[in-house]
Amino acid sequence: MIDVHAHILPGYDDGAQQMSDALIMAEMAADSGVTGIAATPHVLDDRIPDPAALHAAFAALRFALDDCAIPVELYSGMEIMATEKTPSLLAAGKLLTLNGSRYPLLEFGFSETAAHMEKILYAVQAEGFIPILAHPERYYSLQDMPQRAMRMAENGILLQLDKDSILGKMEKNAVRCAHMLLSERCVHAVASDAHRPNYRTTRLNRAQEYTALHYSFEAAYLLFEENPYSIVHDLPVKSL
């Protein structure tokens, strides 16, 4: 499996604070069958990290993984808190996509309206990117109107669920919305959105098993393996 959303880069956000946290998280991921992780620190448009410092941090984590013989490939990335400026910042190369692909990972405030999210996502699309909306199931507007998320998917926006929503560990409206989107077959990937070694972890195996059991083996393979692989290798993503 490949995890396209994890807060594993130490010291950059509310995820891993130290290298030791990141290494425990990576080891746990490997133990659960994950072979690659995109490090996606939270980034705000008005506080974009210095690219050289960020790439040095990715390199330091890669070196530590290698040094500890943890068999996980580390990919660059960001979880971008999207605003009106995001499309032009992406076009100018000031924000990172996942592993330099055409796929940026975007999030919004949980109380953002669906109309505003769509406006920004389509503007990002118009710049030639394929936006991935992080955890659609956690936005109140999409919980109230999941058909808006379905319309986004029909229009080429990729939807990434958090594995804890599938496992029933998020609040109940998010869990219900995640399962509705899965039932409607408009999900493209599932990721950990891991924050700590012991909280919202990097383990993906249970969520994949749950998906295989309650949906299908094909869904479990596509959402946890094939599509995440395609995303970090800049290949076309398939629909369920």
Q: Which stretch binds Fe ion (CB under 5 A): 96-104, 114-122, 165-173, 190-198?
A: 190-198
237 three-state secondary structure? coil
197 three-state secondary structure? coil
- Distance between CA 128 and CA 137 in Å, rounded? 25
Which residue has its beta carbon closest to Fe ion? 193
> Do residues 163 and 195 lie in contact, with contact meaning Cβ atoms separated by under 8 Å?
no
Please identify, using beta-carbon distances, which residue of 200 and 222 lies nearer to Fe ion.
Answer: 200
Binding string, residues 88-117; x marks residues near Fe ion by CB under 5 A: ------------------------------
Verify binding: residue 3, Fe ion, rule CB under 5 A. no
State the nearest-atom distance from the C-beta of 69 to Fe ion, in Å.
Answer: 27
Rule CB under 5 A: choose which of 39, 193, 200, 220 binds Fe ion.
193
- Distance between CA 153 and CA 159 in Å, rounded? 7
Q: Dihedral, CA atoms, 165, 184, 133, 16, nearest 10 degrees?
A: 20
Binding residues with Fe ion: total (CB under 5 A): 2
Please identify, using beta-carbon distances, which residue of 204 and 215 lies nearer to Fe ion.
Answer: 204
State the nearest-atom distance from the C-beta of 66 to Fe ion, in Å.
Answer: 25
Q: Which stretch binds Fe ion (CB under 5 A): 93-101, 152-160, 187-195, 212-220?
A: 187-195
65 three-state secondary structure? helix
- Distance between CA 190 and CA 220 in Å, rounded? 9
Binding string, residues 66-85; x marks residues near Fe ion by CB under 5 A: -------------x------
For residue 107, the cross-strand partners are 81
State the nearest-atom distance from the C-beta of 79 to Fe ion, in Å.
Answer: 5
Verify binding: residue 137, Fe ion, rule CB under 5 A. no
Element at 137 (helix H, strand E): none
> Do residues 119 and 85 lie in contact, with contact meaning Cβ atoms separated by under 8 Å?
no
Binding interface with Fe ion (CB under 5 A): 79, 193
